[in-house]
Structure 1
Amino acid sequence: MKIFFVFLITLNLYSKEILGAVDKLDLPLFNLYDIPTRIDTGANSSSLHCMNIQKIENDFVKCELSNKTYLVEKISKIKDIKNANGIQKRFFVKTQIIIFQKTYTTEISLSNRSNLSYEFLLGRDILEDNFIVDVSKKDLSYDKKQKN
C-alpha cells in the first residue's frame, strides 16, 4: 500500500510543470505580454500592478496599466487583503493567464505595485494543483515560449 501511495504522489508531481521564482507571463485579455512576474507561494491570490484605480458605476473598475492603456473591467469581487502595509481593500477581476502556452482563467486583484520589483504576482490560486515551484530556476515558461 505504501509503495502504491508513493507512486501516486510521484505521478502527480511529474504531471505538473515546474515554475521558477520569477518568470515572464502573458495576460492576453489586457494586451499585456512578457510581464515580469514574481511567483509567490505565500500569497493566496495573484495581483497586477495598476495605477489610478477607481470604482466606476456600480460594478466596474478603471485603472491605468503599465503599457499606458486603461483597463475597464467588471468587478468580480472586493476583498480586504493583508500585506506588509496593513489591510487594503482590493478589486478583483476575471482574466486569463498564459503559462507554458496553456491558458488559465482566474481572478486577480488590481493593486499599485510601483514600489515593488515585479509588475505581476502569481499566487497560490493558480499554483496549487498546477505547478511545482523551484526557486533556484527562473523564466522557464518564457524560455519555452521563445523556443516555439
Structure 2
Amino acid sequence: MEKQVVGWREVVALPELGIIGIPAKIDTGARTSSLHAVNIDLFDRDGEEMARFDLDFGRGQAYRHCEAVRVAHRTITSSNGTAEERLIVKTVLSMGGHDFRAEFSLADRSDMVFPMLIGRTALKSRFLVNPGRSYLISNRDDAKEEFL
C-alpha cells in the first residue's frame, strides 16, 4: 500500500469527540500525539476508567466537553526538555480520508500555535511527511474559525 504524503501542518478531525476542522502540526520529532485540554478529570464508567476534559478553543470561545477512554499515564518530555506526567487517551483520528485510533496526551498547549500535534506513532506505516509543504491532504480553509 502506498503511503499518503502529508505536509507539516494539516486540518484533521476527531469524530468520536465530535470535532472537525482542527489544525494540527505534524511533528516527527514527537513520539506521542498531543491535544490541548483543560479541566481534566478521571471517572469510572461500567468498570472502565474514563477521562473527562474540555478542549479549550481560546479567544473567548466556549469549551467543548469531551470524554474518552483513559489508556495510561506516561511521562512525556516536551520540546523544551521538561518531563511531566500526562494522561493518555485513545480516540479516532481522521486524516486525509483515513480513520484510525490514535493515542493523545492531554496537555496545556495554550502557548502553542496549534491545539493538536500529531506524533510519529500515529503517522507510522500510514503517512510520509514533506516538511517543506503544508495542507497536502487537507485545505486550510476547512479549519474551523474557533481554532484559528
Q: TM-score range by the shorter chain?
A: 0.7 to 0.9
When structure 1 is superposed on structure 2, of 55-64 and 96-105 the one drifting more is 55-64
**Equivalent residue number for residue 146 of structure 2:** none
Question: 1: CA distance between counterparts of 2:72 and 2:118?
Answer: 18
* 3-state secondary structure, aligned to 2:121: helix
**Equivalent residue number for residue 59 of structure 1:** 49
Question: 1: CA distance between counterparts of 2:17 and 2:55?
Answer: 9
Deviations along 1:83-124, one digit per CA (max 9) or x if unpaired, are 125111111111011111110112111111011000110000
Instruction: Tell whether 2:104 aligns with 1:108.
Output: yes
Q: Contact 2:87–2:106 at 8 Å: present in 1 too?
A: yes
Shift of 1:48: 0.7
User: How many residues were matched structurally?
Assistant: 133
Q: Structure 1 or 2: larger helix share?
A: 1
Q: CA RMSD in A?
A: 2.1
**Equivalent residue number for residue 113 of structure 2:** 117
For structure 2, the 5+ residue unaligned runs are 58-62, 143-148
The alignment-based identity, stated in percent, is: 27
Q: Contact 2:103–2:122 at 8 Å: present in 1 too?
A: no
Question: 1: CA distance between counterparts of 2:75 and 2:11?
Answer: 27
Question: 2: CA distance between counterparts of 1:75 and 1:85?
Answer: 25
- Structure 1 stretches of 4+ with a deviation exceeding 3 A read none
1:27 to 14, 20, 44: 14
Question: 1: CA distance between counterparts of 2:96 and 2:43?
Answer: 34
Q: From the CA coordinates, give the structure whose radius of gyration is larger.
A: 1
For structure 1, the 5+ residue unaligned runs are 1-11
Q: Structure 1 or 2: larger strand share?
A: 2
* 3-state secondary structure, aligned to 2:138: helix
**Equivalent residue number for residue 34 of structure 2:** 47
Q: TM-score normalised to the size of structure 1?
A: 0.81
Bigger relative contact order (CA 8 A; separation at least 6): 2
Question: 2: CA distance between counterparts of 1:126 and 1:56?
Answer: 26
* 3-state secondary structure, aligned to 1:60: strand
When structure 1 is superposed on structure 2, of 62-71 and 90-99 the one drifting more is 62-71
* 3-state secondary structure, aligned to 1:142: coil
